[in-house]
Chain A
Amino acid sequence: MSVLILTDGSDASRQALTLARRFGDPVHAVHMDAVAPFAPDSLAAILQQVADELNAAAVFAAGTDRGNEVMARLAARAGLPLAANCVAVTPGAPAALTRLRWGGSLLEEARLHSPRPLITVAPHTVSIEEGPEPIDVDVARFVEELDERDLLVRASDHVAPQDGGVSLTTAKVIVSGGRGVGSKEGFAIIEELAGLLGAAVGCSRAVTSAGWRPHSDQVGQTGTKVAPEVYIACGISGATQHMAGLKGAKWILAINSDPQAPLMLNADYTVTGDLKEVVPAITAEIRKRT
């Protein structure tokens, strides 16, 4: 059995290749320039035509957002089932496969009854095996037939994310504000301190509920889990919901007027006082020293 590889040379398509090898030896490949701008239906159409022409036994793709979307469209066109997020596949009729379920908490053993298994591979689960030697690429020319409709759905514009500040998940330092900050405008002093420290700005659920900060800034059980070196909590009481997002923080500094607040009891360093005085004082002190 031979394997046809449509590849754009990315790591993701090489991962798909690794898994696809279990179906046979690769003998030829088609380098496919990504259709730009991204138009998932056109890729699905190309895949279907190539698979039909070469009577492909199976079609693999990387289980990225794009990979899953293209394969879902291919599945719909071909009327075949798609197994997404697979980590292992054994060829056969039916093909036996293992895939990630329930947000990655469960491995499912499943059988896929399909004349042509369509499979996407869960990202970062299959290590890239280097081939013993460079694959001898037999470049087959393939002329695709695309319909106007295949280009209907396409990326029309790219918008860069706003502000480009430090990300909560990777930040070494986070300055976070709670209800004690008092208002949307009150975050100016938090932002100032964070800017000075090269830190990300975080907040508690109470703050996002009040609409002072976007949900993307929320630290906690239902927000972002963070793992900074230093977490500076200003006016955050420390509900269980918030603390659940802090388990990875190395050092916690808490500023709060209530010394009995759970966060104060769980912090490594505490300052009892009004954050509206304490935070500007810290900022001033840092400015003085730098």
Chain B
Amino acid sequence: MNIAQATALALALAVAGTLFGRRAWTLYRLLRSGKPAARFDDVRARARAEATVVVGQSKLLQRLLPGLMHAAIFWGFLVLFPTIVIAMTGAVDPRSTLPWLGAQGWYALLVDVFALLVLIGVITALVIRKVQRPARFKGSHLGEADLILALIAGIVTTLLLWHASQIALRLNDYPAPWAPISESLSHVVAPVAPVLERVAVWAHVLIILSFLVYLPYSKHLHILVAAFNVYFGRTRSPGRIEPIDFERPEAEVRFGSARASDMTWKQMLDTMSCTECGRCQDVCPAYATGKALSPKLLIMAMRVPNAVSDDIVWDCVTCGACVRECPVGIEHIDHVIDLRRNLVMVESRFPEEAGTMLRDVDRTSNPWGKPQADRVQWAEGLGVRVLQPGERAPEVLFWVGCAPAFDERARKAAISTAKLMQMAGVDFAILGPREGCTGDPARRMGDEYTFQRLAGENVATLNGAAVKKIVTTCPHCFNTLGKEYSDFGGTYEVVHHTQFLADLVHEGKLAPMPSEQTITYHDSCYLARHNDVRAAPRELVSAVGQAIEMPRNRERTFCCGAGGARMWMEEKRGRPINQERVREAVATGAETLAVACPFCTVMLDDGMRETGAKMQVFDLATLLAEAVERRRALAT
């Protein structure tokens, strides 16, 4: 052992360790100061997420080239991790290495291959950033990224050079035959090997230590915290919002976030995990249509005080595209909802026009201020049973929802669904005037108080009628009833009408006759993304016509623009989201645009009118009813 080199290494380790430790301690204390979040249960699901999202790189690999690039670097570092210890051992004494592992041929091969893969990964990353320059990097810290890539390149280059010079000097029997790259490099570096061996290993160790110190000050912190952020991600339905507990002592009730210190520790971890890759920005409908919101810039802005304007907060449609895309488990919607909760419940500051909706939901239990008595109007002459107080619910309760009950266009889906259930002999009833708004628009606006009042009333009605199974045509009601009411004592089997009708077709209780018409199906965010309902609607499409997919489909669908209570706000910034989606639908050349959500129906039908497109917008229930009629007409 060389005393001077050992002392130097000890000194370097102490300095780097202190600098890193101080910063890490600060960040840890910051996290501990965060508000509570229940993210410790369900260890199995968390381990599964860790295995697929972190180890398996599943979200990154959704984009092939950048995904492979990242996977090469990430997996490379997993493989190369022990070489840090090997290099430090070698820095002190060129003749010693890690016992056992340092002499393994297979490991030398792995190191060689993965060092090269990392290098290729870094070059690919630079090509993506410098040549391809995708828009998703707009607003990210680009200089930081370049420095980080340079450091990574430095780490693997010095590693290869060190191995090569070790082989050239025949030091500690490096298993050269197993290391083809280092072996061939060794011939090139042979003349300078005695010097290079020391220079390379020390450069290697010092770059790694500098990297360690730089990490917690940079966006590259993600390599330390992203794995934790994924582990602590939500395991229950992504569409479910964490309720506020109004029963707690007043001082402990958290009315959303007004400042950084109001965030939960998970939200703080989100801000530390973001490495500014911009995948969220790339899929965000608000950003795509020129609005103030970019989910990436929002998370970056949460790191500093007073950087989020109201416009940013209100632009969000809560479609969840960002959350679904994020490789490091950031939950953008939670941030938006908390900011809205503060704006609505503490500051009373929200887009003026949405105030009408909040008032009407509160006073008349529907967003348009219609009389509750009119809730059964749509069913006039259909012979639908209205469940009376005191009566027990039949097998299926048809939860109609406000839009299908009151909106002329959305109503057709309710009528078709009721008729189809009657044809199939389903024993069902509606609540009529006793059905209230689920509170979804109020909740997504940040008015948690009104939401919980409505939830309490609806749960009392549903439990009072001993409801077991609910069918609904509205994905927002579907999400709220099925995924959120269990927090308030209401647990039911909630089925979307597309699932229920697809089952009836399967069982042979409905016999549709497909036609030649071409249909493209628009996935509702609250079905396809928040609740994984993607197959049943497609079965229905195939049962009634010829399916054509839009480019953005299934879990990567593009919002109609109505979610997150945007239905009740004016779209004053940027271009209309609904028209963007309508153009995509029209471009498929399909004759019909099928939908499975009353809000999508209204938004996309408006979009067709606004753009002058001739495509028809129909709910799948209406298309199915026609197809069943077609078969009947043929039979008679």
Q: Contact flags (1/0) for B350-374 with A, using CB distance below 8 Å?
A: 1001111111101100011100000
A223 and B609 form a contact (CB under 8 A)? no
A215 and B570 form a contact (CB under 8 A)? yes
**A262 contacts B by Cβ under 8 Å:** yes
B356 and A221 form a contact (CB under 8 A)? yes
A239 and B356 form a contact (CB under 8 A)? no
Residues 208 to 257 of chain A near chain B (Cβ within 8 Å): 208-210, 215, 221-223, 225, 238-241, 243-244, 247
B609 and A102 form a contact (CB under 8 A)? no
Rounded to whole Å, the gap between the CB of A54 and the closest CB of chain B is 32
Rounded to whole Å, the gap between the CB of B619 and the closest CB of chain A is 16
B570 and A240 form a contact (CB under 8 A)? no
User: B610's contact among A206, A238, A244, by CB below 8 Å, is which?
Assistant: A206
Say yes or no: A103-B408 contact (C-beta < 8 A), given A221-B368, A239-B606, A247-B369: no
Rounded to whole Å, the gap between the CB of A7 and the closest CB of chain B is 28
- Which residues of chain B come closer than 8 Å to A124, judged between CB atoms? none
**B29 contacts A by Cβ under 8 Å:** no
B408 and A209 form a contact (CB under 8 A)? no
Rounded to whole Å, the gap between the CB of A145 and the closest CB of chain B is 31
Chain B: residues with Cβ within 8 Å of the partner, total of 34
CA distance A221 to B360 in the complex (A): 10
Rounded to whole Å, the gap between the CB of A107 and the closest CB of chain B is 12
- Which residues of chain B come closer than 8 Å to A240, judged between CB atoms? 368, 403, 406-408, 602
**A31 contacts B by Cβ under 8 Å:** no
Rounded to whole Å, the gap between the CB of A73 and the closest CB of chain B is 17
- Which residues of chain A come closer than 8 Å to B153, judged between CB atoms? none
User: B353's contact among A106, A223, A243, by CB below 8 Å, is which?
Assistant: A223
Residues 386 to 438 of chain B near chain A (Cβ within 8 Å): 403, 406-409
A206 and B609 form a contact (CB under 8 A)? yes
B407 and A222 form a contact (CB under 8 A)? no
Rounded to whole Å, the gap between the CB of A211 and the closest CB of chain B is 11
A102 and B348 form a contact (CB under 8 A)? yes
**A22 contacts B by Cβ under 8 Å:** no
- Which residues of chain B come closer than 8 Å to A243, judged between CB atoms? 368
Residues 178 to 212 of chain A near chain B (Cβ within 8 Å): 179, 205-206, 208-210
Q: Contact flags (1/0) for A102-138 with B, using CB distance below 8 Å?
A: 1111100000000000000000000000000000000
Residues 546 to 561 of chain B near chain A (Cβ within 8 Å): none
- Which residues of chain A come closer than 8 Å to B355, judged between CB atoms? 102-103, 105
**B90 contacts A by Cβ under 8 Å:** no
**A101 contacts B by Cβ under 8 Å:** yes
- Which residues of chain B come closer than 8 Å to A215, judged between CB atoms? 570, 572
CA distance A104 to B358 in the complex (A): 11
In the complex, which of the residues B356, B357, B358, B407 has the most CB atoms of chain A within 10 Å of its own CB atom? B356
A239 and B369 form a contact (CB under 8 A)? no
Say yes or no: A105-B406 contact (C-beta < 8 A), given A215-B570, A239-B602: no
CA distance A238 to B571 in the complex (A): 19
**B344 contacts A by Cβ under 8 Å:** yes
CA distance A285 to B117 in the complex (A): 83
A222 and B356 form a contact (CB under 8 A)? yes
- Which residues of chain B come closer than 8 Å to A210, judged between CB atoms? 610
**B514 contacts A by Cβ under 8 Å:** no
CA distance A223 to B344 in the complex (A): 20
CA distance A10 to B568 in the complex (A): 37
CA distance A239 to B609 in the complex (A): 12
CA distance A215 to B357 in the complex (A): 18
- Which residues of chain A come closer than 8 Å to B86, judged between CB atoms? none
| Majority secondary structure, B binding face | helix
**B576 contacts A by Cβ under 8 Å:** yes
- Which residues of chain B come closer than 8 Å to A225, judged between CB atoms? 356
A209 and B356 form a contact (CB under 8 A)? no
**B120 contacts A by Cβ under 8 Å:** no
Rounded to whole Å, the gap between the CB of A148 and the closest CB of chain B is 27
Rounded to whole Å, the gap between the CB of B285 and the closest CB of chain A is 16
Say yes or no: A222-B568 contact (C-beta < 8 A), given A105-B362, A209-B610, A244-B356: yes
**B345 contacts A by Cβ under 8 Å:** yes
Residues 185 to 238 of chain B near chain A (Cβ within 8 Å): none
- Which residues of chain A come closer than 8 Å to B359, judged between CB atoms? 103-105
- Which residues of chain A come closer than 8 Å to B409, judged between CB atoms? 239
B358 and A105 form a contact (CB under 8 A)? yes
Say yes or no: A102-B358 contact (C-beta < 8 A), given A206-B610, A221-B568: yes
Say yes or no: A262-B609 contact (C-beta < 8 A), given A221-B368, A244-B356: no
CA distance A248 to B369 in the complex (A): 12
**B447 contacts A by Cβ under 8 Å:** yes
CA distance A166 to B502 in the complex (A): 54
CA distance A238 to B406 in the complex (A): 12
**B149 contacts A by Cβ under 8 Å:** no
- Which residues of chain A come closer than 8 Å to B602, judged between CB atoms? 239-241
A102 and B344 form a contact (CB under 8 A)? yes
Residues 63 to 109 of chain A near chain B (Cβ within 8 Å): 85, 101-106
CA distance A101 to B403 in the complex (A): 27
CA distance A103 to B571 in the complex (A): 20
Rounded to whole Å, the gap between the CB of A217 and the closest CB of chain B is 13
CA distance A85 to B347 in the complex (A): 12
Name the CB-closest residue of B to A99: B348
**B569 contacts A by Cβ under 8 Å:** yes
CA distance A262 to B412 in the complex (A): 13
Rounded to whole Å, the gap between the CB of A208 and the closest CB of chain B is 8
Say yes or no: A101-B348 contact (C-beta < 8 A), given A209-B576, A238-B408, A240-B407: yes
CA distance A247 to B363 in the complex (A): 15
Name the CB-closest residue of A to B368: A244
Rounded to whole Å, the gap between the CB of B528 and the closest CB of chain A is 25
Rounded to whole Å, the gap between the CB of A68 and the closest CB of chain B is 12
Name the CB-closest residue of A to B572: A215
Name the CB-closest residue of A to B605: A239
- Which residues of chain A come closer than 8 Å to B354, judged between CB atoms? 222
A222 and B609 form a contact (CB under 8 A)? no
- Which residues of chain B come closer than 8 Å to A105, judged between CB atoms? 355, 358-359, 362-363
In the complex, which of the residues B348, B362, B449 has the most CB atoms of chain A within 10 Å of its own CB atom? B348
Name the CB-closest residue of B to A103: B355
A221 and B357 form a contact (CB under 8 A)? yes
Rounded to whole Å, the gap between the CB of A207 and the closest CB of chain B is 10
- Which residues of chain B come closer than 8 Å to A206, judged between CB atoms? 606, 609-610
CA distance A39 to B358 in the complex (A): 35
CA distance A209 to B406 in the complex (A): 23
A102 and B610 form a contact (CB under 8 A)? no
- Which residues of chain B come closer than 8 Å to A102, judged between CB atoms? 344-345, 348, 355, 358, 447
- Which residues of chain B come closer than 8 Å to A223, judged between CB atoms? 353, 570
Name the CB-closest residue of A to B353: A222
CA distance A195 to B597 in the complex (A): 42
CA distance A247 to B356 in the complex (A): 13
B348 and A239 form a contact (CB under 8 A)? no
- Which residues of chain A come closer than 8 Å to B348, judged between CB atoms? 85, 101-103
Rounded to whole Å, the gap between the CB of A249 and the closest CB of chain B is 14
CA distance A225 to B356 in the complex (A): 10
- Which residues of chain A come closer than 8 Å to B368, judged between CB atoms? 221, 240, 243-244
A221 and B408 form a contact (CB under 8 A)? no
Name the CB-closest residue of B to A100: B348
- Which residues of chain A come closer than 8 Å to B609, judged between CB atoms? 179, 206
CA distance A238 to B403 in the complex (A): 14
User: B408's contact among A106, A208, A262, by CB below 8 Å, is which?
Assistant: A262
Residues 147 to 200 of chain B near chain A (Cβ within 8 Å): none
- Which residues of chain B come closer than 8 Å to A222, judged between CB atoms? 353-354, 356, 568-570
Known: A215-B570, A240-B602, A244-B360. 4 other contacts (CB 8 A): A102-B344, A104-B359, A222-B568, A223-B570
Q: Chain B interface (Cβ within 8 Å of chain A)?
A: 344-345, 348, 350, 353-360, 362-363, 367-369, 403, 406-409, 447, 449, 568-572, 576, 602, 606, 609-610
29 contacts between A and B (CB under 8 A): A85-B348, A101-B348, A102-B358, A102-B447, A103-B348, A103-B355, A105-B355, A105-B359, A105-B362, A105-B363, A106-B449, A205-B606, A206-B606, A209-B571, A209-B576, A209-B606, A209-B610, A221-B356, A221-B368, A222-B568, A222-B569, A239-B409, A239-B602, A240-B368, A240-B406, A240-B408, A241-B602, A244-B360, A262-B408
